[in-house]
Structure 1
Amino acid sequence: MANLAQAKSTTLSLLDFKSVSTRTFWITSISFFMCFFAWFGIVPFMPDVVKDLGLTPDQKWNSIILAVSGTVFARLLIGKLCDKYGPRLCYTWLLTIGAIPVILCGLVQTPTQFLICRLFIGFIGASFVITQVHTSLMYAPNIVGTANATSAGWGNLGGGANRLGMPLIAAAVVSFGVADADAWRYSMIVAGIVCFCMGIIYFFFTKDTLNGNFKDLRASGEMVSTKKDQIGFLEVLKDYRVWILFVVYAASFGIELTVYGTMDDYLQNTFQLERVTAGNIVLSFALMNIFARTLGGFFGDKFGKLKGLRGRVLFLAFILAIQGLMLITFSTTTSIVIGVAFLILFSLSVQMAEGATFSVVPFINKKAIGSVSGIVGAGGNVGAFLAAMLLKSQSAVAEKGAIIASQGLGEEAIKAAQSAASATAVSSGYFIIGVTVVITAVVSLSIRFSTEDEKVAKVDGLVKPENLILVK
């Protein structure tokens, strides 16, 4: 059976729309953006949902937990499916089927129905894995880190853009005569329809690789599928490097999600900022994904060119350590000016660490890029869950203590004491998390590659699509 050396683009030409790699890059990035937009689309409307459906505080928090939990399992599964069926079909089905719970979310009538929808909506968070797999298959080693980081960063913008976009959609539907109380429902339906349409576009306008789709390549004999070339999922699980990167992504993307999820309240409680001001600061940091994550992938590629695969690991460890130190310093400051300065540096470094992580991932196991990406991607959600539990537990204990200690001082005094206790507890939690990130950076240095891996990566980075050789 013939085996075709895989064609990959050696440049990231964003305006060359005739190129399959460029077209795929844009479509996968936009699809990722829309998935995140829909995944977190209900967040701006939670006060309306609580009022409309009569959600209890526990049900509200459970909906958040369910959305994140569903993503963990979906990411683990989708990576293996990408290796078997290709990213094109996986994304097509994820978008078209994933659109259903998004649309149904706008039609729910009970809290139970809402919770079920939130669980299944979380599955579209697996879109990140497919995007990383697809760009890894499209771009050569010399540029793959930059391509992965850019597509992921621009896609992640969907998680912040919905804070502006969903209210605009709601305002638009209200202008057509829809009642304000029902605007959130129509907004979710619109987001679901757009996701479904992106699934159709993905099917007709992308390919799995520059050589063609997995199905066609197997049929023509250009894609080897012998037992020797098949990598079992258990074999991927046994690779210690996969689990180190799992922890690294938990310490980067997972921490970013948790810090930004708690930062609004922290800024208000610590620096007495108005809610709108605190929210705008957090939103501006989310928008740094436009360039920050790309920088991580870019420098990962540059270090890879200078020092090979080991260079990519060294840069990842360096930027991860910087991230941890920035968070540690931020947690100890009491000045709003200094605090925001270090928060900016934290935001920059954490997003660069995410990009640097996926400049390493494609080289762990080239025959199972999907499985590796899925496991590492799931690490981000696990990290977010664990960090959130740490902050929640510390804050809860501190607030209860403050309430007991200030009994009889009046409602205003109790609230002030509660806010101060929460700020102190969260600050302590940030410090612990920062130290953990630095330790993770040191551990990441244990990632090693064989001499053969180094040679293959170097050669692949020099092979251009027009210079491919058919090997019998």
Structure 2
Amino acid sequence: MDATLPTQQPLSRLNVFATKGVQMRTFHLTWLTFFFCFFGWFGIAPLMPLVREQLHLDKGQVGNIVIASVSATILARLLMGKLCDTIGPRLAYTLLLAVGALPVMFIGLSNSYQSFLLFRLAIGIIGASFVITQFHTSMMFAPNIVGTANAVAGGWGNLGGGIANMLMPLVAAGFVALGYVDKANSWRLAMVVPGVILLIMSVLYYKFTEDTPRGNYADIERTASIKKKGTFLLALRDYRTWLLALAYGACFGIEITIDNVAAVYFVDHFGATLVAAGLLAGVFGFMNIFARGLGGIVADRTGRAYGIKGKWVLLSGLLVLEGIGIAFFSMAPSLALAITAMLGFALFLKMANGCTYSIVPFVNKEAIGSVSGVVGAGGNLGAMLVGFLFKSASISYSQAFLYIGFGVAAVGAIVLLVRLVVKESAEVATEAPLTLASA
């Protein structure tokens, strides 16, 4: 009706070089914020050899720290999914960033295993940023492109984990070179950097984003007819939510586990230096710059050709290939072959991440945030469970990766089997409206 009307609608195409309009401004801010959340979440991972030496940690304690780093995220993702449906992604993200920055900055105060474990547990809440990013992107893009938009935003955000593995050893070394701290304590000062960045992003997110293309929840709720009560139960009652949570545990759950243990694995198993191990682990995370987005693109095209059922078949196949690749990685006799296998399974893993969240918005259009939260929590639950393999005194890291490979392939087969056996009475069509923009 007026010239501003198109800006009130979700975008039907994604131009990553565009910056005008609330949709693209939100897109770029949400993936960038997610990037720094991942950077802060896994910033300590490549520095763990230093922490392990200074705090005299054994393998079991390191394993408990890995488990703790992903445990708090489970409840945080469930909570943030619900908050996205109620107070909106803008306020939810601002709150999460402001609170999550504190343990990131102050983990350097740890002087014992117990205090470090508690700080690592608290840092895990910023992993819930993923749910808000996926929800906010779903609000800003139309159904025909939402899978691609979610995957690109998620992939570029996940890239923060890889960049953290690459840069944090260099940040720590930089503080040593400047004479501010010795090498043994360099990890303490290094972690202040991502914490400060998170506080800055909380201000930017509050100031420059909106909940939907039509405005913030506080403004549009006066006329909106959709009521956001009971969305969590809607999500829990649908078996597809749980199936996607299982699948996400087998792809994203493995990703954040590798983000946590890869540097230690390369140091201990292949004798790599701290900086070299961080760079190698960073290569795994760096593939998010294209691989998760590729999964979303392929999933959207599959959905247009074969519907939602085609996306499920694609997800199953990606998980099986991921599992096979992890098994080969576990048996690699040399560093070169291990890197090759890692690049192979990383491609399928990250594509599976993107494919999973190309399906999420179509499970229940009235509970996108809650479905996203439950599925995201499933990813962290998977990471927590496999974390127990890495703390066992009787299982080597190589054996743990082999068991994980078999398990991931089995999950892929389960996804396909369930979708073939269960008959759908109704499936949200890819043309169905997804957001409050239709209210």
> Which amino acid is 2:394 matched to?
V
Matched residues in 1 for 2:398 and 2:114: separation? 36
Residue in 2 that maps onto 1:432 = 406
1:185 and 2:160 aligned: no
- The residue aligned with 1:9 is 11
Which residue is 1:22 aligned to?
24
2:394 matched to which residue of 1?
397
Structure 2 residues without counterparts, runs of 5 or longer: none
Whichever residue aligns with residue 241 of structure 1, its letter is R
Equivalent residues, number? 431
- The one-letter code sitting in structure 2 at the alignment partner of 1:27 is L
Name 1:224's counterpart in structure 2: 225
**In structure 2, distance between residues paired with 1:122 and 1:423:** 23
- SS of 1:142's equivalent in the other structure is coil
Kept in 2, the 8 Å contact 1:248–1:444? The answer is: no
Question: 8 Å contact 2:23–2:213 — kept in the other structure?
Answer: yes
The C-alpha deviation readout for 1:416-440, integer Å capped at 9, x for no partner, is: xxxxxx4773464245324423323
How far apart, in 2, do the equivalents of 1:194 and 1:424 lie?
A: 35
Q: When the two structures are superposed, what TM-score results if normalisation uses the length of structure 2?
A: 0.87
CA, structure 1 residues 264+48, in 2 after alignment: closer, same or farther (shift >3 Å)? closer
User: 1:136 Cα deviation (Å)?
Assistant: 0.8
Q: CA RMSD in A?
A: 3.2
C-alpha separation between the residues in 2 aligned to 1:258 and 1:45?
A: 15
Structure 1 contact 330–339 (Cα < 8 Å) conserved: yes
Structure 1 residues 231 and 424, CA gap change in structure 2 (3 angstroms): closer
Partner of 1:204: 207
Q: Residues 6-60 of structure 1: CA distance to partner in whole angstroms, max 9, x if unpaired?
A: 8211111222212211111111111111111111112233344345555565544
Which residue of the partner structure matches residue 379 of structure 2? 380
- After TM superposition, give the deviation of residue 449 of structure 1 in Å: 5.7
Secondary structure at the aligned position of 2:180 is classed as coil
Matching residue of 1:284: 283
Structure 1 Cα separation of the partners of residues 268 and 49 of structure 2: 21
Corresponding residue of 2:354 = 355
| 2:112 matches 1:101 | no
Query: 1:117 is matched with which residue?
Result: 119
Matches within 5 A, 1:29-428: 29-53=31-55, 58-174=60-176, 176-180=178-182, 181-219=184-222, 221=223, 223-226=224-227, 230-259=229-258, 261=260, 274=272, 280-331=279-330, 340-390=339-389, 392-393=391-392, 396-397=393-394, 422=396, 425-426=399-400, 428=402
Distance 1:318 1:34, change over 3 A: same
Contact 1:331 1:430 in 2 (8 A): no
Describe the SS at the equivalent of 1:210: coil
Residue 13 of structure 1 aligns to a residue whose secondary structure is coil
Per the TM alignment, residue 177 of structure 1 is displaced from its structure 2 partner at its CA by 4.0
Is this contact kept in 1: 2:252–2:349, CA < 8 A? yes
Task: Give the drift of 1:273.
Answer: 6.6
Q: Which moved more, 1:209-218 or 1:47-56?
A: 47-56
Any conservation in 2 of the 1:319–1:349 contact (CA below 8 Å)? yes
The answer as to whether partners of 1:153 and 1:289 remain within 8 angstroms in 2 is: yes
Instruction: Give the stretch that moved more between structures: 44-53 or 304-313.
Output: 44-53
Deviation, structure 1 residue 247 = 0.4
Identity of aligned residues (%): 43
Q: Would the aligned equivalents of 2:46 and 2:264 in 1 still touch at CA under 8 Å?
A: no
Instruction: Give the distance between the partners of 1:136 and 1:433, measured in 2 at CA.
Output: 30
Q: Report if the CA contact (8 A) 1:170-1:187 is conserved.
A: yes
**Kept in 2: contact 1:40–1:162 (CA 8 A):** yes
How much does 1:154 deviate?
A: 1.0
Q: Distance in 1 between matches of 2:198 and 2:401?
A: 38
Question: For structure 1, which segment, 105-114 or 231-240, has the greater mean C-alpha deviation from structure 2 after superposition?
Answer: 105-114
Matches of 2:427 and 2:382, distance apart in 1 = 33
Letter in 2 for 1:86: G
Q: Distance in 2 between matches of 1:44 and 1:439?
A: 34
Q: Tell me which residue corresponds to 1:417.
A: none
1:260 Cα offset (Å): 5.7
- TM-score of the superposition, structure 1-length normalised? 0.81
Cα shift at 1:190: 2.3
Report the 3-state secondary structure (helix = DSSP H, G, I; strand = E; otherwise coil) of the residue aligned with 1:365.
Answer: coil
In the TM superposition, what is the alpha-carbon distance from 1:69 to its structure 2 partner? 1.0
* Amino acid across the alignment from 2:35: F
Deviation of 1:209 after TM superposition, in Å, equals: 0.7
Deviation, 1:107, is 3.3
Kindly provide the amino acid, as one letter, of the partner of residue 345 in structure 2: F
